[in-house]
Amino acid sequence: MNLLPDFRYHRPATLEEAVQLKAGSAAARFVAGGTDLLVNLRRGLGEPSDLIDLTAVAGLADIRREGDSLWLGAGVTLAELARHPEVLALSPALAEAALSVAGPTHRAAATLGGNLCQDTRCIFYNQSEWWRAANGYCLKHNGDKCHVVPKSDRCYATYHGDVAPVLMVLDGDAVVAGPDSVRRAKMTAFYCEDGGAHVNLAANEALAAVVLPPQGGRRAAYAKARIRDAIDFPLAGVAVALRRERNVIAELRVAITGTNSAPLDVSTGDLIGRVWDSDAATLLAKNLRKRANVLLTTVVGAIYRRRAMQGLARRLVDTLWEGG
Ligand SMILES: Cc1cc2nc3c(=O)[nH]c(=O)nc-3n(C[C@H](O)[C@H](O)[C@H](O)COP(=O)(O)OP(=O)(O)OC[C@H]3O[C@@H](n4cnc5c(N)ncnc54)[C@H](O)[C@@H]3O)c2cc1C
């Protein structure tokens, strides 16, 4: 591990001040729990001029009702998210996903905003400086070639966050604060498939919160495949939300992580109005294969991760379907 680079440190008390500070320098970065960013900086991945610590921003760690909806501040820690009664009442799947991130000491500091905005990962990127130098660096940092897809002009590093797919299937909105305004975007539109720039935030914007609507009859679940159950990123993760009406699928939402450069929703239109049976499961598996683009970005092979994704999805829908 390298020493941290030199930077100016700020601890603003408001989000307005935080975004103004960010707008003031192209090389400034936000830091929340630091469990993703600081590890990368210690590896020499980035040299921010300024670190803008969000942990003193008033109201950023609020969880509160907004009419029928639930407001989850970007500064809420994952530990708090996993145990909050309003979260458990709205969707235990969200608490489950938060609890599956890293280990307990990480979750005590790690925030929702940091989880959603965490960097993409790759075996050619999350390495020491000397390892990356020996390989001529890569497109994501300092180099001009993607070693995963050598002829590509974009980076194929993978997004491995656990919480985003659940927020997608629960139909969450991201609340984004800029210097002069606040905008909302669907969680499904908060990302783009580029390992080098996967979050749809302008340089002077911060994620303020995620707002979840009431879930009606929708029930959700999340599962991930990982090497070590105690602490590990998803090799593939799947979130599912299902509304069953009598013997048909009235609504089915599926989102995946750990497979592409962004968490992605999967098309399920051809399953609506059907009974959940082995033909429907085959259709869902086909839709998943079409959407996922699993490449050799982790030490575990792409074929295994693709199969794990399909198996997890089927198991989750089986369980939610049986639950009624
Ligand atoms: C050993 C280990 C295991 C891990 N396992 C997992 C895992 O299983 N699943 C998983 O999802 N993650 C995992 N992580 C990654 C990380 O711990 C989590 O994603 C964590 O939630 C990041 O939150 P943070 O507050 O610490 O983010 P930070 O490190 O503070 O920030 C991460 C990024 O988000 C940006 N950011 C933070 N807040 C905001 C905001 N409000 N608006 C805009 N940008 C913002 C920062 O600028 C930075 O680029 C692991 C990390 C380690 C070290």
pLDDT, tens digit (0-9, with 9 covering 90-100), for 97-135: 999 999 999 999 999 999 999 999 999 999 999 999 999
Mean pLDDT of 239-250: 97
- The per-residue pLDDT for 2 is 84
Q: In this model, does residue 25 exceed pLDDT 80? A: yes
- The per-residue pLDDT for 306 is 97
Radius of gyration of the chain (CA): 20
Pocket perturbation via mutation, ligand 1, pick of 115, 204, 229, 238 by most ligand atoms within 8 A of CB: 115
Which one has a higher pLDDT value, 179 or 279?
279
Q: How confident is the model at residue 1 (pLDDT cuts 50, 70, 90)?
A: confident
Q: Is the CB of 233 under 6 A from ligand 1?
A: yes
Q: How confident is the model at residue 226 (pLDDT cuts 50, 70, 90)?
A: very high
Pocket perturbation via mutation, ligand 1, pick of 35, 141, 176 by most ligand atoms within 8 A of CB: 35
Q: In this model, does residue 324 exceed pLDDT 80? A: no
Ligand 1 atom at minimum distance from 32 CA? 30
Q: Give the list of residues 6+ apart from residue 301 with CB closer than 8 angstroms, or none.
A: none
Q: How confident is the model at residue 136 (pLDDT cuts 50, 70, 90)?
A: very high
Q: Strand order in 8-10's β-sheet?
A: 8-10, 50-53, 28-31
Mean pLDDT of 47-63: 98
Q: Give the list of residues 6+ apart from residue 210 with CB closer than 8 angstroms, or none.
A: 72, 74, 112, 116, 167, 172, 173, 174, 175, 187
147/137 Cα distance (integer angstroms): 9
Mean pLDDT of 293-299: 95
Q: How confident is the model at residue 37 (pLDDT cuts 50, 70, 90)?
A: very high
Mean pLDDT of 216-239: 96
Handedness of CA 280, 285, 286, 291 (dihedral sign): positive
Neighbouring CB atoms inside 10 A of 121's CB total: 20
Q: Is the CB of 42 under 6 A from ligand 1?
A: no
Q: Is the CB of 257 under 6 A from ligand 1?
A: no
Average pLDDT for the chain: 97
Q: Is the CB of 188 under 6 A from ligand 1?
A: no
Displacement of CA 108 from its chain's centroid (Å): 18
> What element of type H or E holds 195?
none
Mean pLDDT of 145-166: 96
Q: Which two tokens stand for residue 28?
A: 């400034």
Query: Which residue's entry shows tokens 């999967």?
Result: 266
Q: Is the CB of 37 under 6 A from ligand 1?
A: yes
